[in-house]
A and B are shown apart, each in its own frame.
Chain A
């Protein structure tokens, strides 16, 4: 379990279960709206087409049936007066559309061309109306089928001709038409999505550019500006955006410059103090015991102060965007050896180093000065916060592309909830106090910055010895 330093990853928005996630981007929403409008319009169009076409088809059909029924009625009239044919023969000879049935009634006597359709299938109202001398038609259901019954009164008393036309063909036409329209409406959805997504791109490109530029500024490129690129509608927005960005840049730079100026102004008096102190230290033997103790206190304070000023300057320089990273191939074992030699010179106890047998060949891509500060700060941190340095481990990482340096201390470790914070500036462990750890508040923040500048990562976790383990991963160097 470990925590990585650096900017926290953007929190992923999660929609509650059971609800469709709303599109997160403006472009997504615009595309969705475009699709919805397209869907409504195409549905309305389909319904209109459906209404008009079905109306027209029905009208056509009714006209055709009426014309045929009238013609057949007239022929029947003529045929009835001419002798020679029986009535059923006469009915059967009438030209008819497929499936239509003719019925003839004379004084309550019904004759039909189909056994399936008889007198009782025609509604009483229709029968009476026609027999009484008025032509009529009606849509009725016979044996589960929709049919159109047309009745024509004939010349004789109580004579009438009925013809029943099936409408199932028309129904089939309706079904085909409906299916085609529905499919067209459904097909318009993906088309609208694609067209909407594609057509909103140029419209929203200015927004995309704004978000790119804003992202660049947030990422530390304070000089990023929005170029209106000849788009007059974007020009006022670009102007005010750029003004804001410039104000922000000024502010950040002047803050950083102020910090740099302050620490710079402190350097000359610090130099004088360090010089004066070392002159006094030459005579430390001649000082009384309380004077010697006072001098020791002064030395510790001045050295802590010097360190703090150096750290402040370094961190404000990296805030101001001055990044002079000199990456080169560094034999990491040599560098580690030199760091440990410096520690030994400063009177610190030796520490076991765990390294593979071919450690001398391990080369990382790093900035020597920064890597020295990283290791030095981590070891100092182990001394001041971790009750002493316990071990240093140098190894090739499992992925084969990085080298891993681990610094273990003998302290209580870093609680999980504090691991994200230890790399912030002036973050101190809950147990430490100001006087115990002078100037320690910037050490790990600088570690994080230096490692980031060298394209590496630094994490804190548990050491197998029980304390905290700070782990630095750096990319392998190019030439061994």
Chain B
């Protein structure tokens, strides 16, 4: 893994969609100190407009927005972009988190968060996928992964995966046949320690299966090993 100090990632850009000006300002100041470029948007509509103009490495999305709420904005983002989305929730209710992930978010932070936590989450998601060095392409079943381009194809057709879904698939594909526990996947894909929310893994696996499995109800690519974790066939 490449070390990512403040000096090395010069051009990471973050879109912050947040209606509270105090939080927006604090987040901006904090992230800029970490060397990230911050673009602000005070509503979902404004955020989608910025996204249409420019690409970002990570989007920070508050769930409680006036007008279009965070879930809708997230779904709208997913229709046009694979950029990682971190949702900011003030309610840590279980169904809010899962609903946000189902809407296409890649990760979440709950208020009150400390700025370091936020930048750690952004860095983890902005990180490029590890490339298994000697090989340019990885085969998983009938899928062809090209980590350098971040693409997956089946029979030459491109599958539309988000960056996080792609990272998850690559981590599993890097060690075919080996079971990766939820904790290992949380650490490798999201940069969490042992106590990461394992729902992140489960929801992402569900989403991933919808895209890569011919029959998502009887998966052949991402296999569940009960009580242990997930693996891809060797």
Contacts and interface: CB of A to CB of B under 8 A. Distances in A.
Interface of A: 264, 267-276, 278-279, 282, 306, 309, 313, 317, 322, 324, 326, 328-329, 334-335, 337-338, 341-342, 368-369, 372, 478-479
Contacts of A322: 93-94
B224 to A, nearest CB: 13
B219 interface: no
B204 to A, nearest CB: 16
B16 to A, nearest CB: 12
A172 to B, nearest CB: 83
B29 interface: yes
Contact of B30 (A279, A309, A338, A369): A279
Contacts of B193: 338, 341-342
B192 to A, nearest CB: 11
28 contacts: A264-B90, A264-B91, A267-B112, A268-B23, A268-B111, A268-B112, A270-B111, A275-B23, A275-B29, A275-B115, A278-B116, A279-B26, A279-B29, A279-B30, A279-B115, A306-B112, A317-B93, A326-B198, A328-B198, A329-B227, A337-B194, A338-B195, A342-B195, A368-B195, A369-B195, A369-B197, A372-B195, A478-B227
Interface string B179-204: 00001000000000111011100000
The 6 closest A-B pairs by CB, nearest first: A275-B26, A338-B194, A324-B94, A270-B112, A267-B111, A271-B112
A129 B115 CA distance: 130
Contact of B26 (A271, A313, A341): A271
Given A279-B33, A329-B227, A268 B194 contact: no
A274 B226 contact: no
B27 interface: yes
B234 interface: no
Interface in B1-45: 20, 22-23, 26-27, 29-30, 33
A335 to B, nearest CB: 7
B68 interface: no
Contacts of B195: 338, 342, 368-369, 372
Contacts of B29: 275, 279
A269 B21 CA distance: 11
Interface string B62-98: 0000000000000000000000000000111110000
Nearest to A305: B112
Given A267-B90, A271-B26, A372-B195, A479 B227 contact: yes
Interface residues of B, number: 28
Contacts of B198: 326, 328, 368
Contacts of B33: 279, 282
Contacts of B93: 317, 322, 324
Given A368-B195, A368-B198, A274 B20 contact: no
Given A279-B29, A279-B30, A322-B93, A272 B194 contact: no
A330 B70 CA distance: 33
Describe A's contact surface by its main secondary structure. helix
A441 B105 CA distance: 36
B18 to A, nearest CB: 10
A260 B91 CA distance: 9
A375 to B, nearest CB: 11
Contacts of B183: 334
Contacts of A276: 26
Given A275-B27, A324-B93, A337-B194, 12 more contacts: A268-B20, A268-B22, A268-B23, A271-B23, A272-B23, A276-B26, A279-B26, A313-B92, A334-B183, A338-B194, A342-B195, A479-B227
Contacts of B30: 275, 278-279
Nearest to B33: A282
Contacts of A341: 193-194
A131 to B, nearest CB: 115
A372 B116 CA distance: 21
A335 B193 CA distance: 11
A304 to B, nearest CB: 13
A334 B194 contact: yes
Nearest to A265: B90
Contacts of A335: 194
A368 B183 CA distance: 11
A478 B93 CA distance: 28
A278 B114 contact: yes
A306 B23 CA distance: 16
A272 B26 contact: yes
B200 to A, nearest CB: 13
B70 to A, nearest CB: 15
Contacts of A273: 112
Most chain B CB within 10 A, of A278, A322, A478, is at A278
A272 B195 CA distance: 25
B228 to A, nearest CB: 8
A274 B112 contact: yes
A275 B88 CA distance: 14
Interface string B100-121: 0000000000011111100000
A278 B115 contact: yes
B120 to A, nearest CB: 13
A274 B110 CA distance: 13
B114 to A, nearest CB: 5
Contacts of A338: 193-195
A281 B189 CA distance: 30
Contacts of B226: 479
B227 A309 contact: no
Nearest to A279: B29
Contacts of B227: 328-329, 478-479
Nearest to B111: A267
